[in-house]
Structure 1
Amino acid sequence: MSYADHDHERSSGTARLTMGVAWALLLLGLWLWGREVTDVRHGISAPTTGDVAAVGRPPDPELPPAHEPLSGALPQRVDIPALGVQAPVVARGLDRRGAIDPPPFDQAGVVGWYGSGTRPGAAGAALLVGHVDTESRPAVFYKVSTLRPGATIRVTRSDGKVAEFTVDDIRVLPRERFDAQQAYGTRQSGRAELRLITCGGTFDRATRTYTANVIVSAYLTGMAA
């Protein structure tokens, strides 16, 4: 999500909303533009900061096998039962700076999907971005950092199928050590994968940005009934 174009036009409260993930998604846009997505080996399997996602997390459960990828279809809705999230999905493109253009500011309950990238359920990593909060209330991905491996994410598609993903990794990547390939690259060749992306860490009033990004990784494990 790119909020950089609006930084000097909005109030400090809105700036908090708009600047949350600008740095990471600007890197994402440049990365998608300049290099091919390749496999990355498993590395950090737990957050690298003191974010609440790391507190009290039990050992990772045994995860189900991957389901074979589906044909491409447009995402329409994302459901995260553990968080009580049921949100519409809208396609978003890149802005003039090469970063993902987020959902409109007044639609903090909407999830943006990078429409020129992988479709959820198809082979590759599909990217879903969402706000963590607004000036006055939590937003759609407010509790995403609390997800644990084994949690379910369902994406309703335009072909009527509901692709069911299982969370296998939650990373909190600090700004100063952010690696776009590590965050957004596919983890296993041939899998259908999903990324949920939002801001995390703490809000730095000096720079008017969040100090980290939360990246939740999941992979296709079946079709919901």
Structure 2
Amino acid sequence: MTAQQSPQPNSNPSRTTPASRPVGRGLLWSAGAFLLGSLLVYNSVDTSADPKPPSHHTVASSATPRPSAAAAVPDLALPRSAPKRVSIPTIAVDAPFTPLTIGPTGQLDAPPAGDKNLVGWYKDGATPGERGSAIIAGHVDTKTGPAVFLQLEALKPGALINITREDGMVASFKVDSIETYSKAKFPSDQVYADAPTAQLRVITCGGAYDRKVKDYVDNIVVFAHLASYRHV
């Protein structure tokens, strides 16, 4: 189903959002309202180089992520608090966050491509550690070289993703699976669905790079659940 509108923030926001990652280009994601149907993920090239909006594709559910172990501990969750920094020791990630919002074109703006070590989070969805599906995303590389999620695809189930929050808590997420989805058949209903437990989705690009459209053909999505938390 084609996305109809951008997700709308509220006091208990719907935990749905899109994200992606191109090489040498700015990052944009199309957003749709999950309650109205599926939410699409799209990439686009740098608008300064190609002003055309990204083409829209039909969503198809082509794979199902492995069940999260968080189902065994449904009460393990934190109150809402914005993230400050993410650390993924096994792939040497240590980066600050920037909030992402829906732009005037109805797309989710990406982290600035000029800062290679920056991760974005969808601020109108769940915050990491809060009950729901928190969405974070970042570049794999830019015009100037490798970026923060260059090695994201190398993560293995069981790896830890540690997110330091503004309330002084460190939420530790355990990776459940690492999936590769074609952007033309991206299962947004699986990736962006709300969750009764504290979940995390980490999204970037992957697969081959299509030089004609200046974009990657796949998305890499890491599924993780809140495994523990502690005060700094």
Same fold (TM over 0.5): yes
Q: 1:107 deviation in Å? A: 1.2
Q: 1:105 deviation in Å? A: 1.9
SS for the counterpart of 1:17 is: coil
RMSD across aligned C-alpha pairs, in angstroms?
2.6
| Alignment-mate amino acid for residue 157 of structure 1 | R
Deviations 1:154-200 (A, max 9, x none): 010011000010000211110221121122224xx421011111111
> What TM-score, normalized to structure 1?
0.74
Contact 1:132–1:140 (Cα < 8 Å) also in 2: yes
Count of residues in correspondence between the two structures: 186
Note the residue ranges of structure 2 that are not aligned, 5 or more in a row: 1-21, 40-60
SS for the counterpart of 1:78 is: strand
Larger relative strand fraction: 2
For residues 141 and 112 of structure 2, the distance between their equivalents in structure 1, rounded to whole angstroms, comes to 13
- Name the counterpart of 1:158: 166
> What TM-score, normalized to structure 2?
0.72
User: In the alignment, is residue 206 of structure 1 matched against residue 212 of structure 2?
Assistant: yes
Q: 1:139 deviation in Å? A: 0.4
SS for the counterpart of 2:184 is: helix
For residues 141 and 168 of structure 2, the distance between their equivalents in structure 1, rounded to whole angstroms, comes to 31
Larger relative helix fraction: 1
For residues 209 and 105 of structure 1, the distance between their equivalents in structure 2, rounded to whole angstroms, comes to 15
Q: 1:146 deviation in Å? A: 0.9
- Name the counterpart of 1:194: 200
2:180 equivalent among 172, 179, 196: 172
Alpha-carbon distance change, 32 to 111 in structure 1, aligned in 2, over 3 angstroms: farther
For residues 33 and 86 of structure 1, the distance between their equivalents in structure 2, rounded to whole angstroms, comes to 34
Q: 1:152 deviation in Å? A: 0.1
Residues 7-156 of structure 1: pairs in structure 2 closer than 5 A = 16-18=23-25, 22=28, 25-26=29-30, 29-32=31-34, 34-35=36-37, 43-45=63-65, 65-66=72-73, 68-156=76-164
SS for the counterpart of 1:176 is: helix
Q: Percent identity?
A: 35
Contact 1:16–1:135 (Cα < 8 Å) also in 2: yes
Note the residue ranges of structure 1 that are not aligned, 5 or more in a row: 1-14, 47-61
